[in-house]
Amino acid sequence: MNPGTAPKVQVGFTGEPTAPKLEVRFSEGDFELTLRDAVSPGDKFYKLVQLLRAPGADVRSMAIDGEPAAYLQQVLQYVPNRAAFALKYYLAPKLQTLVQWLVASKESDNYTYDNASSCLHYWASGLSLALGCSPERVLGYLREPIEDVALKQAIVAMYDRQPVKPLRDRIPKFGRRLAWYACARALKPKLLIETGVHQGLGSVLLCAALKRNTEEGHPGTYMGTDIDTSAGSLLVAPYNQYGKVHYGDSIETLKTVDRPVNLFINDSDHSADYEAREYEAIVRKLSDRAVVLGDNAHVTDKLMQFAWNTQRNFIFLNEKPENHWYPGAGVGVAWPKSPPVVETASGQESLTPSVSPPGPQLF
């Protein structure tokens, strides 16, 4: 399908007079699809079609439910064009990529994909507010994993070693997890926590950020939590030396944390209640400048409510998947309203105006 062209569309009514259906048929090349939906026998356009089917019908002086029949006929004539215009947003390329994905991908959940380049630029602008550094620096962090050959090779090697292949794709694509990575690189956290690990794609990515931070003189530790004891298989060497997965209920595990958390990522049980309880469990353990990320923010408003209730800023970063049928999710970002701290050549520097006392160090 060509995204720039509209499909061929035919629109009509089918079914019995007591239970009519609006039918939309569209096609382009070898692709064909038919949609039907029930309409009321009292629908104005259905009445018009029935009227036009009568021999010698002249609609110029007729009205249907108070509206001129000639006007309704004019509107009806534009329905195929309107349908074609609307459908091109779904047919090209969404349905085509769905068909391709069915045979090209092995994934059954937690879909992976790349996001459009424009999406990364929007994220860089938004995250720069939360992280206290320039959009250009954030964009560099977002691109690091995409260009990290060693990281991708480690993930592929783990896939190849598994005698029973998991339902995931061999070549890693990080999607919105790149935003997690950028936060870990910019904040240089001494402790970051991710709840909900699944196969560990986020885990190994976050530990890759900690590896680079350590090499730059800012060591940190990763703590993952998951109720599934098989979770985290992708957290392989050398990245597993920067943290590990703790198995059990996430909220119970969070209660055991005994030092400040600098970056917290919620990605476990996606029920609104459980998400809110995680924020309640971690709020008193967050450092003064901690950033909280929510992987469920496209479904619930719990992170936004948490931000409002605790005097934090909040933004939502939307995804734009590239060459994938999935419409995308996003990342909620909450951070303190106090002035952020940026990295400079001479160290860390508060963005507080010079007439005010200097802000505290990052952690």
Span 194-231, pLDDT tens digits: 999 999 999 999 999 999 999 999 999 999 999 999 99
Residue-wise pLDDT tens digits, 84-123:
888 777 776 677 788 888 888 888 888 999 999 999 999 9
Question: Is position 205 within any domain?
Answer: yes
Question: Is position 72 within any domain?
Answer: yes
| Total structural domains within the chain | 2
Report the DSSP pairing between strands 243-247 and 347-350.
unpaired
Q: Which residues pair with 244 in a beta bridge?
A: 223
pLDDT at residue 359, as a whole number: 33
Model confidence at 161: pLDDT above 50: yes
The number of CA neighbours under 13 Å toward the Cβ of 111 is: 20
Helix (H/G/I), strand (E/B), else coil: 76:
helix
Report angle CA 99, 105, 106 to the nearest 5 degrees: 125
Q: Do residues 125 and 58 both lie within one domain?
A: no
Q: How far apart are CA 344 and CA 177, in angstroms?
A: 26
CA distances from 152 to 138, 146, 149, 173, 213 (A): 21, 9, 5, 9, 18
Site of tokens 């409510």: 305
Residue-wise pLDDT tens digits, 282-300:
999 999 999 999 999 999 9
Q: Do residues 258 and 118 both lie within one domain?
A: yes
Given a contact cutoff of 8 angstroms between Cβ atoms, the answer to whether 52 and 59 are in contact is: yes
Question: Is position 316 within any domain?
Answer: yes
Q: Do residues 98 and 123 both lie within one domain?
A: no
Show the domain range for 299: 114-350
Residue 255's CATH number: 3.40.50.150
Helix (H/G/I), strand (E/B), else coil: 118:
helix
Final residue of a structural domain among 104, 123, 143: 104
Q: Which H, E and C letters describe 280-325, residue by residue?
A: HHHHHHEEEEEEEEECCCCCCCHHHHHHHHCCEEEEEEECCEECCC
